[in-house]
Each structure stands twice: as structure tokens, then as C-alpha cells.
Chains A and B, each alone.
Chain A
């Protein structure tokens, strides 16, 4: 069974800090995604990657960047955290080139910016 592991379940950081959220998947999936989940807004795509060192902007990339140095790992970076980035962050993965497969999600990281 596919496992997507996010490094922290809960994280508290201060405004202006640089924040790293890590995600690792163990099924050799090509595509990986970062979403944020907010009440009433569903899941909104921040960035995704379809290969090592490749990245694409999602719907709300402002204030975020990503890194994909290895196939199994996809990092989300908040360059200078702000209070409006307090949210639940979800990582997901999917095999490349197979469009009928569901995404596999991690447990999420609940990030609070004080």
C-alpha cells in the first residue's frame, strides 16, 4: 500500500520565519502535490511536480516555493511565514502518465503561524 509521510502533524512557527514542510512517498510515484486545506475552501493546489527538479505552479503559489531533489521527496517552503499561511497542508502523490489513479494523501501538517 502506498504510504505518503509528512514529517510533522503539528507545527508552530513565528511570523517571518522560513518554514520547511517535508513529504516522502514510498511508491516511486512521479507526480507529487502540495495543497492547503481551509474550512469552506476545500483543497487548493499550491505547487506540483511531475519529475525530479521539475515544478509547476498551482492555483495559489504566492509566498511558497518547492524543492524536488529526489523522486521520493517533495518539500514545501514558506520563505517568510505570515499569519495568513496558518492552515492544514496536505501532500499527495500519483503515478506519472496514469490519469485514472487516485491521489494518495499524507496525514497532513497543521501549521500555525504566530
Chain B
């Protein structure tokens, strides 16, 4: 069965530190990849997505992610985090043809001011 692994369950950073959240998936077919963010008390919303083309994708609020097909990875990065980035981040893999997504367990990011 397909699975999505997020390596860090809880990350604590100071403002201006750089961020990298890992995401690996196990599925041999064609996938679309997403990062969602859930700010405290809010619904999940899209941060960025990849489905084809340039493997380096840029999202909202200065986030970017790189798809490395050979490593089955889609890591999320931000060069300088802000206190307002405190949230839970979910990696998701959409399996084309299956009509559904598999989510990772989530990473809680706490940014200290």
C-alpha cells in the first residue's frame, strides 16, 4: 500500500532560521504532490503543489518544495521563517487513477519570536 512519511513530528525554530521539512512517499506510479498548512484554529489550505514540469515549485508566503523523483521525495523549504509560520504542515500524495490522496502524519512547526 502507498504511504507518505514525514520525518519530523515537531520542529522548533527561532525566527529567521531556515526550514526544511522532509516528505517521502512509496508509490511507483504517477503522482501529484501537495503541501497543505493548517494554522491554529483554521482549515487546511494549499501551500503549494507539483504535478509536472519544473521540479522546484514555489508556493505562498515564501515556501518552496523540490520534487526529486529518484528519491521519492518532496521536501518543503523556507529560507527564513516567521512567527506567523507556526502551524501544522501536511504532505499529501495524489495517486492518479485512484482518485484519492494519502496524507503524511503532519509536522507541527513552532517558531519562537
Contacts and interface: CB of A to CB of B under 8 A. Distances in A.
Interface of A: 4, 31, 33, 35, 40-45, 48, 50, 56, 58, 90, 92, 99-100, 102-103, 105-108
Contacts of A33: 100
B96 to A, nearest CB: 5
B9 A99 contact: no
Nearest to A90: B44
A105 B106 contact: no
Main secondary structure of the interface of B (DSSP, over half): strand
8 contacts: A31-B99, A43-B92, A48-B99, A48-B100, A99-B32, A100-B32, A100-B52, A102-B46
Interface of B: 6, 9, 32, 34, 36, 42-46, 49, 51-52, 90, 92, 94, 96, 99-106
Contacts of A50: 99
Nearest to B44: A105
B46 A42 contact: no
Contacts of A100: 32, 49, 51-52
A31 B99 CA distance: 8
B77 to A, nearest CB: 19
A64 to B, nearest CB: 16
A58 B99 CA distance: 11
A49 B84 CA distance: 35
A92 to B, nearest CB: 8
Nearest to A107: B43
B101 A105 contact: no
Given A40-B9, A99-B96, A105 B90 contact: no
A45 B100 contact: yes
